[in-house]
Copies of this chain bind each other. A is one copy, B any other.
Amino acid sequence: MQSRAPLLEALLEYNHMARGNFHVPGHKQGQAWSEREKRWFGSILALDLTEVGHLDDLHDPRGVIADAQALAAEAFHADHTLFLVGGTTAGNMALILSLCQPGDRLLVQRNSHQSIFHGCYFAGVRAIYLPTRVDVVTGLAEPLQPAEIDQLLHQYPDAKGVFITSPSYEGMVQPIRAIADICHRFDVPLFVDEAHGAHFGFHPVLPLSAMQLGADVAVQSTHKMLSSMTMSSMLHIKGSRMEVDQVARALRMLESSSPSYPLLASLDVARRDIVTSGRQRMEQVLHHLISLRAAMEAWCHLREVQMPGIQDPLKCSLKADGRMTGFQLARWLEQRGIYTEFADLAKVLLVFSLGTTAVELQTLSIELLRLDQHLTLLPHRNAHDIPVFPKPVSSDLSFAEIRIATKEVIPLTEAEGRIATEMLLPYPPGIPVILPGELFTQANIHYLGRIIEAGGKVKGSMLSSVCQVSVIK
């Protein structure tokens, strides 16, 4: 049955059956579009339909969407799978809103994606942050310590659950099984933001998925590391600690009441493809990546950052021993038609997938060798000049208190000692440097300033040219 794609098949059948389309969307299977752009949009518009005929209903699935979700649950080792059209953002928020009442406590990884904090904000949750240590050599967060989670669950016996992120943006995996065991001893659910790990478990070289390792819920950006369309994700549930109906209800509130069928059908196809032909194709990509990494041996300056802990082989973070910032590396490559995922002061991140071709990797290998030779000409800057992720300092004010406080807007450079009322986050990766209720410190002001100076983007600042920030008056 994994070779079927019931939702896609139903969309094709509609196209076969319909003699008159008197419903939304207004483009009417593309008929409203001019011939010129039909070249790009024409075929997909034929599938851009709505809840008519046998096309089921995402927010109350009983037909082909239910079937497609059931096949996905089987493929991803879940009891239930919900398709998401609002990205992992919608899934993360829905989980918190369905688990927690206002005032409830939730254990949350401090270096989470913004959507988890937004979920806490809307749910009125008191977030307890899991301690995060930064590795001084790589500047990356170290894996979580399960013993510390155990201790926090002892300290806060009323905590409703634990929400962690694994893998990180850079591909670093958390000790999920140990954390899940601890959570279950306290009978609270473990949620995993697995946005960057939809491919896990589909090849022996890859880490196992959160579902395979005992998590209660995992949210995956199927579009990021598998092959569905951007903004389409899946939420997987296992066991009985989290009720699928509760989560579905929160999603009905957060997501569009006109969900995109092309996005949903692309989830159906992505599941089918990874199950039926994924392993073989993954094998090829991994094989090519071994060659790429072998070629790295010859480089003098560029090198792959060695992460603390287990690492996804489809991610590659490169550093240039202080001769270029990550931003500069990315720009150098982009000028040669090589587009990368993300850069910060220290490094540039490359993402591979089933869609990565041998030709592209060859081009990359050649250009990286050229870049390495180019770096020889540049002066060496002190690598320690790159500031590490600053330690957050809490004011103990909750999101709910911040929400109703009187605010004012001041320049970032004058904010030391003041309490932030909104997140400030370099994007990507979307992990907040400052959260509402945290204090501006010399360290985080310097860190943010350096990112802006180097051409990075910081979201949440009111106007990034002058860099104004909102604080409690």
Contact = CB atoms under 8 A, between A and B. Distances in A.
A101 B403 contact: yes
A8 interface: yes
Interface in A241-297: 245, 249, 252-263, 266, 269-270, 273, 277, 281
A404 B269 CA distance: 41
Interface in A29-69: 29-34, 37, 39-53, 57, 59-60
Interface string A82-117: 000111111000000000011000000000011100
B457 A57 contact: yes
A156 interface: no
Interface residues on A, range: 35 or more
B227 A26 contact: yes
Contacts of A342: 23
Contacts of A101: 403-404
Given A25-B227, A57-B427, A230-B259, 13 more contacts: A24-B341, A25-B230, A26-B225, A27-B354, A28-B357, A29-B355, A34-B277, A44-B44, A44-B229, A44-B262, A45-B229, A60-B457, A231-B260
Contacts of A24: 221, 223-225, 230, 341, 351
Q: Which of A101, A338, A363 has the most CB of B within 10 A?
A: A338
Interface stretch (A14-22, A70-78, A444-452): A14-22
B34 A86 contact: no
Given A24-B341, A360-B19, A459-B252, A53 B334 contact: yes
Interface string A342-366: 1000000011111111001001100
A410 to B, nearest CB: 16
Nearest to A16: B337
Contact of A229 (B57, B262, B363): B262
Given A18-B337, A26-B355, A257-B87, A50 B273 contact: no
Contacts of A198: 26
A134 interface: no
A27 B257 contact: no
Contacts of A427: 57, 59-60, 257
A118 interface: yes
A336 interface: yes
B339 A257 contact: no
A273 B34 contact: yes
A372 B63 CA distance: 31
Nearest to A122: B122
Contact of A46 (B40, B60, B85, B122): B40
A403 B253 CA distance: 14
Contacts of A27: 223, 226-229, 270, 353-355
Nearest to A316: B22
A430 interface: yes
Interface in A447-473: 457, 459-460, 462, 464
A30 B355 contact: yes
A39 B48 contact: no
Contact of A26 (B40, B353, B460): B353
Nearest to A32: B355
Contacts of A8: 37, 40
A196 to B, nearest CB: 9
Contact of A354 (B26, B367, B403, B464): B26
Given A43-B40, A101-B404, A459-B60, A32 B273 contact: yes
A37 B253 CA distance: 32
A194 interface: no
